[in-house]
Amino acid sequence: MNTLLDSKIEPLCINIQRKYFLFQFQITYQNCYFSIDHPFSSVSWRPMKSNYTQFCIMLFICIGLNNSIKGQWSHDFSLNDLSEWSGNVQDFIINDDEELQLNAPAAGDAFIYRSSSIDFDTVSFKLYHLMDFAPSDNNQSRIYLALDNEDPSVASGYFIEIGENGSDDALKFYYQNNGTPIFIASAAMGAMATEPATVRIEIDVFPSGLWSVRTDYDGLEFPTVELEFMDAQFSLKESLFFGLSCKFSASRADKFFYDDLSVLPFEMDTTPPDVVSADPQNQNELLVTFTEPVADSEAQNISNYTLNSQNPIGSDKANALGTQYLLTFSENFDASLIYLLTVSGISDLNGNVMTDQMVGFLFSEKPTIGDLLISEVLFDPYPNGEDFIEIFNRSNKSLDLKGMKIINSQNEEIKTIDFPLKLSPGSYLALTEDVDFLIQEYKPDPDANIEFQELPALNNDGGNVSLVNESNIVLESFDYSEDQHFQLIDDTEGVSLERISFEIEANTFNNWQSAAENVRFATPGYKNSNTITSISSDQEFSLASEIFSPNQDGDNDQMILNYQLEKPGFLASVTVYDAAGFKIKQLSNNELLGSQGIIVWDGTDMDGQISDLGIYVIIGNAFHPDGEVKHFKLTTVLADFID
C-alpha cells in the first residue's frame, strides 16, 4: 500500500514562517527535513523509512499550525471574491484596478464586515483608503478595526473616522463602548481634507495598550510613524469582526476605495531605518526625515552626516517621535546645485543599524524677473474641460513657487499658489483645475509636469495672464488674443497658444502660435510643439529654416524671420513675393523693432488662403530715426499645404 501512495503523491515543499515569537517552520517532502524554532522548542527530523508516515506527520503539523493562526487574514482584492464579507455587499464591487469600491445606486449608508477573531497578543492592522473627494460630515468613512458584535450600533471596539465639517479632516481614533463612541486621539489636522483624500495606514497595537500609527498621505508603500497613544479599554482578543462603513451623498456613491486590508500578528522589527527625504528649511538648515524613530544620540552625532565632504555644525531633534532631525550647515545652499547628503551609522530603537544612504535635494529660491516665463495658455477649453497655463523655468535655479500669484489683470482676479511647489531648472509646469481631463484629452508625454491649481477666469476671446511673486513684483504679463491662432483653424476650442521663443518678449504678437495638430493641439507640462531654442545668427536678418510647411504637424509650420540689431528703434516693412514677382502678403508695415525678435509668415496670402507650393522671396527695409537704413532679401520654400 505504501508503494501505491509513493507512486501518486508528488514531491511536496511547504515553507511557513512566523516572525512573531521568533517562530519558524519548514517542511520538505520525500527527503523530509523540517525544523521548528521558537523560544520554547527546537526540533529537527531526518529522512524516515516510510514516505506515507512522513506525509501524515507533516499534514498533522500543518493542520495544527493553521489552527494556531486562524485569526489572521489579508485581502488585496486580486480575486473577484467578496464571499468572506457580509452586510451591504451588493453596494460594493471589485474594480478593474483590483480595489474594493463603493458602487451604491443612490445616497445613503453602506456597511460590510467580515470575521476577524484575534488570537495573538500584538496586532498589526494595515489598509489603503482613498476618498475621491474632500470628506465632510455628509460624506464620511469609518473603519471598524475591532468589534465584538457585527452590529456597530451595540458593539464595543475601535474605529477610525474620516470626515467632518470644515477643513480639519483627520484620522480620528475612537473607542466604542456598547455602541457609544469615545474620542481617543487624532492624527494631523487637515491631512484628509484634500481632494482626493488618500492614506495608507499601518497600526501596531501592543499588549500594554500602546498604539503606534504609521501613515503616508500619498498612499505609498512606506508609511512613517505619525502618532502614538495609549488605550487599553477593550481587549482585542474579544474582537470578532472587522468592518467598513460609508456615509455618502448621491454624487459620492462610487467614490470610496479600499485595498490591502490585513489583520496580522505583529512582526518583530529587523528592518533598519531609511531616509525618506532631506528638505531645505532655509539657506543653511536641512530637515532629514526617517521612516521610523531613531536613536537620538546617533541622530544628533554630526559625523553621521556628510554633505559635499563636510559635516553639519549641528543636529537637533525636530519632532517628538524622533523621526525628524534638523541639520545646520556653516555655508548657505546654492539654488543652482544638486546636493547629495550621505547618512550612516544611525539605528532605530531596536538597534537595527542603517547602511550608508544617499539622498539628493535642491535648494529652491523665490523667482525673480527673468526666471519664470509664460509658455502656453489654453483659454477656450473643450466642453467639460478647464483652462490651463504653462510656465517655464528659464533660470539655472530650482524655484520655489509657493506664494506666487496668478492674475488676470483685466478682471483683477487673483489666485495664489498656497502649497509647496518646486520647479527645476529648464522645466515646464502646467497648472489647471482639472488634471485628469488634460491627461485624458491631450495624452501628454509621460514626464509632463501637471499640477492642480485654481486659476483666474480667462475669457475666450482675449484676456491677460500675469505672474506676480510674493514681493508683488510682476515676473511676466501676457495679453492673449484669439486672433493669435493660426487663421486656417476653423474652430480653436480646445487649442492652446504656444510661445515660439523665450528670447522674445511675451507680448510680441507674432511670438505665439496654435499648438500643432499632431500633439492634439496642446502640450501641457512639456516642450511646446512650435518652440525655437535660439534666434542667434551672424546675420542681422535670417530665417530659422529656409523650408517650412504650414500643415500643423509641429515641424516648421511657419516661416520665422529672425532679426538681431545693434540698437532698437528701426521701423521695418517686410513683404512676401512669389517667384514671378507678384506680391503675396505684407508681413509688417513700419513695424517698430526691438534689438531682437521675430517676424512670422503662416503661409497664407492677402485673402487668407494658403499659398501654393513653391519658392518665395522675402524683401525687407528697415529705417532708423538717426538715418541708418538696412535692406535685406531672403528666399524661402513653402513645401507642403493644409488639406
pLDDT digit string, tens, across residues 593-618? 877 788 889 899 998 888 999 999 99
Q: Which helix (H) or strand (E) holds 584?
A: strand 583-592
What tens digit of pLDDT does each residue of 140-149 get?
A: 999 999 999 9
Report yes or no: 307 and 275 within 8 Å, Cβ to Cβ.
no
Q: How many whole angstroms separate alpha carbon 348 and alpha carbon 323? A: 10
pLDDT given for residue 535 in this prediction: 61
On the question of pLDDT at 60 being above 50, the answer is: no
> Across-strand partners of 14?
27
Coil, helix or strand at residue 583: strand
Closest by alpha carbon to 468, among 423, 420, 393, 403? 403
At residue 536 the predicted structure's pLDDT band, cuts being 50, 70 and 90, is: low
User: For residues 454 and 407, what is the distance between their CA atoms, to the nearest angstrom?
Assistant: 11
Range(s) of the chain covered by CATH 2.60.40.4070 = 534-643
In the CATH scheme, what is the code of domain 275-362?
2.60.40.1220
Question: What are the grid coordinates assigned to 296, written together?
Answer: 537620538
Query: In which element (H, E) is residue 61 found?
Result: helix 51-68
pLDDT in tens, 265-309: 987 778 899 999 999 999 999 999 999 889 999 999 999 999 988
The CA angle 262-263-264, to the nearest 5 degrees, is 110
Sheet holding 571-578, edge to edge: 547-548, 629-638, 614-623, 571-578, 583-592
Query: How is domain 534-643 classified at the architecture level of CATH?
Result: Sandwich (2.60)
Rounded Cα distance between 215 and 226, Å, is 6
Q: Which of the four pLDDT bands, split at 50, 70 and 90, describes residue 370?
A: very high
Portions of the chain given CATH number 2.60.40.1220? 275-362
Contact (Cβ atoms closer than 8 angstroms) between residue 293 and residue 349? yes
Please give the Cα distance from 177 to 159 (Å, whole number): 11
What is residue 533's predicted lDDT score, i.e. its pLDDT?
Answer: 66
- Output the pLDDT for position 406: 97
Backbone CA torsion sign across 300, 303, 309, 313: positive
How far is the C-alpha of 643 from the C-alpha of 641, rounded, in Å?
A: 6
Mean pLDDT of 53-68: 40
Pick one of 2.60.120.200, 3.40.50.280, 3.30.70.260, 3.90.700.10 as the CATH number of 74-265.
Answer: 2.60.120.200
Q: Is pLDDT at 537 greater than 80 in this prediction?
A: no
Look up the CATH architecture of domain 365-532: Sandwich (2.60)
Whether the Cβ atoms of residue 474 and residue 466 lie closer than 8 Å to each other = yes
pLDDT tier at 53 (50, 70, 90 boundaries)?
very low
Within the chain, which residue ranges are assigned CATH 2.60.120.200?
74-265
Extract the runs of DSSP E, i.e. beta strands, from 56-117: 73-75, 85-87, 92-94, 100-102, 108-115
Query: Which of 74-88, 170-184, 220-234, 465-479 has the weakest average pLDDT?
Result: 220-234
| Interval 137-163 mean pLDDT | 96
Q: Please name the helix (run of DSSP H) or strand (run of DSSP E) that holds residue 450, with its range, or none.
A: strand 450-452
pLDDT band at 534 (very low <50, low <70, confident <90, very high): low
Helices and strands per DSSP (H, E), number in the chain: 4, 47
Residues of the chain with CATH 2.60.40.1260: 365-532
> Is-above-0.75 flag for pTM?
no
Q: What is the pLDDT confidence band of residue 350, given thresholds at 50, 70 and 90?
A: confident
- 549 neighbors 639 (Cβ within 8 angstroms): yes
Residue 266: the pLDDT is 85
